[in-house]
Homo-oligomer: A and B are copies of this chain.
Amino acid sequence: MKEPGTNVVNAAIIGASGYSGAELLRILSTHPEVRIRRVTAASSAGQRVDALYPALAGQCDLEYEELLPEKLSDIDVAFLALPSGQAMNIVPELKAKVPRIIDLGGDFRLKSPALYEQYYKHPHTAASLLESAVYGLPEMNRKAVASATLVANPGCYATSVILALLPALEHGIARGQGIVINSLSGVSGAGRSASVEMSFAEINENVRAYKLLTHQHIPEIESVLGGAFGGALSVSFVPHLVPLTRGIYTTVHAQLATNVRASEVVTLYQQYYATHPFVRITNSIPQILSVRGTNYCDIALYVDQRTNQLIIISVIDNLVKGAAGQAIQNMNLMFALDETTGLR
């Protein structure tokens, strides 16, 4: 690994003991322009990282610490990978110490404190920061991300849904009402925690939907896509747990707004994402194995003439493009590095 120099980005990972934190460690430990300086995790403070994640033995020589903001003065960028609702309590203080913050959680993704409270079930404690936080979807906000001081990394489902719909909605191909979204997710999206529900015996040979009508990515999707669409937009979103560790498979049905052939939609999407290295428009039906462990989002497009619907399938690895990879892609933009550095 490169020795730290004047140009090296000094990074801290706040909340590094969960799956997203571990994935940040895995990717950043081979990133040529980054040096991980500190990793914090309240529950594991004092423990070596490779004691918790033996896979990182020989790759990562760090120890978990308590979070002490005063120790972060030499940090260029802090990644926050905390349970929902914790980031908003520390970001105000952190912003005074660390020039760039990327929050992988949901605390700064919505602009409206009321919507936040409705879906997250508690009030927002740092609402004044919501407006200036930049929604870190590089394919949409590349420029704004580059100069942002606080980036709200998108939700995993939201990433797969927004990338799937953005071109069609911006170009008026799909209607904004009555969009139906079914997503299938691996279990790592739920984080690393002890519960009967997430035990192998309850997930293996099983499928179940959850958080029907109430999932917190619904307002995220509607507000972000509503902005691009330029009008009211409503989605019905059903997330399902399927027996795999990683990956999100999203199938979208939207009413066509114009008479268009599938090939025209494919061309539109190819052009739309031509300069975005991590979106691939595929000819064959996407599958999760094609993106496993990568930062790619694969998208395929179908027109159902019989029912006048546009069907869009998109797949990502929830821990990479849906979390740690996208965060690093944002970091690359923020430090004027090539967007793909460390992510191939």
| Stretch of A133-141, A144-152, A206-214 on the interface side | A206-214
User: Judging by beta carbons under 8 Å apart, are B242 and A210 in contact?
Assistant: no
A326 interface hit (Cβ, 8 Å): no
User: With A198-B199, A280-B58, A309-B236 given, is the CB distance from A246 to B285 under 8 Å?
Assistant: no
User: Judging by beta carbons under 8 Å apart, are A206 and B287 in contact?
Assistant: yes
User: Judging by beta carbons under 8 Å apart, are A209 and B251 in contact?
Assistant: yes
- Name the residue in A246, A247, A306 with the highest tally of chain B Cβ atoms < 10 Å from its Cβ: A306
User: Judging by beta carbons under 8 Å apart, are B242 and A205 in contact?
Assistant: no
User: With A242-B242, A287-B54, A302-B213 given, is the CB distance from A311 to B199 under 8 Å?
Assistant: no
A187 interface hit (Cβ, 8 Å): yes
User: Judging by beta carbons under 8 Å apart, are B54 and A298 in contact?
Assistant: yes
User: Judging by beta carbons under 8 Å apart, are B277 and A180 in contact?
Assistant: no
User: Judging by beta carbons under 8 Å apart, are A201 and B19 in contact?
Assistant: yes
* Distance from A186 Cβ to chain B, minimum over Cβ atoms (Å): 8
> Which A residues from 112 to 155 make CB contacts under 8 A with B?
none
A284 interface hit (Cβ, 8 Å): yes
For A198, what are the chain B residues with a Cβ–Cβ distance below 8 Å? 199-201
A195 interface hit (Cβ, 8 Å): yes
User: Judging by beta carbons under 8 Å apart, are B55 and A291 in contact?
Assistant: yes
- Name the residue in A236, A296, A313 with the highest tally of chain B Cβ atoms < 10 Å from its Cβ: A236
User: With A238-B251, A253-B180 given, is the CB distance from A206 to B244 under 8 Å?
Assistant: yes
- Contact among B54, B195, B207, B255 for A178, CB-based, below 8 A: B255
Chain A contact residues (Cβ within 8 angstroms of B): what range? 35 or more
**Assembled-state Cα–Cα distance A293/B206 (Å):** 12
- Contact among B192, B238, B282, B307 for A54, CB-based, below 8 A: B282
* Distance from A323 Cβ to chain B, minimum over Cβ atoms (Å): 14
**How many chain copies does the complex carry?**
4
User: Judging by beta carbons under 8 Å apart, are A209 and B245 in contact?
Assistant: no
**Assembled-state Cα–Cα distance A254/B317 (Å):** 30
For A71, what are the chain B residues with a Cβ–Cβ distance below 8 Å? none
Q: Beta-carbon contacts of A181-198 to B below 8 Å, as 1s and 0s?
A: 010101110001111101
Q: Look across to chain B and name the residue whose beta carbon is closest to the beta carbon of A291.
A: B55
Q: Look across to chain B and name the residue whose beta carbon is closest to the beta carbon of A302.
A: B212
**Assembled-state Cα–Cα distance A200/B244 (Å):** 8
For A235, what are the chain B residues with a Cβ–Cβ distance below 8 Å? 307
User: Judging by beta carbons under 8 Å apart, are A57 and B196 in contact?
Assistant: no
* Distance from A145 Cβ to chain B, minimum over Cβ atoms (Å): 22
A-B contact pairs, 28 of them (CB 8 A): A53-B290, A54-B282, A54-B284, A54-B287, A57-B282, A57-B290, A178-B178, A178-B309, A180-B180, A180-B253, A184-B184, A184-B240, A193-B196, A195-B199, A198-B200, A199-B200, A200-B243, A204-B205, A205-B245, A208-B288, A209-B286, A212-B311, A213-B306, A235-B307, A236-B306, A236-B311, A240-B251, A293-B293
- Counting from the closest, the 3 A-B pairs by CB-CB distance are A208-B287, A200-B203, A54-B290
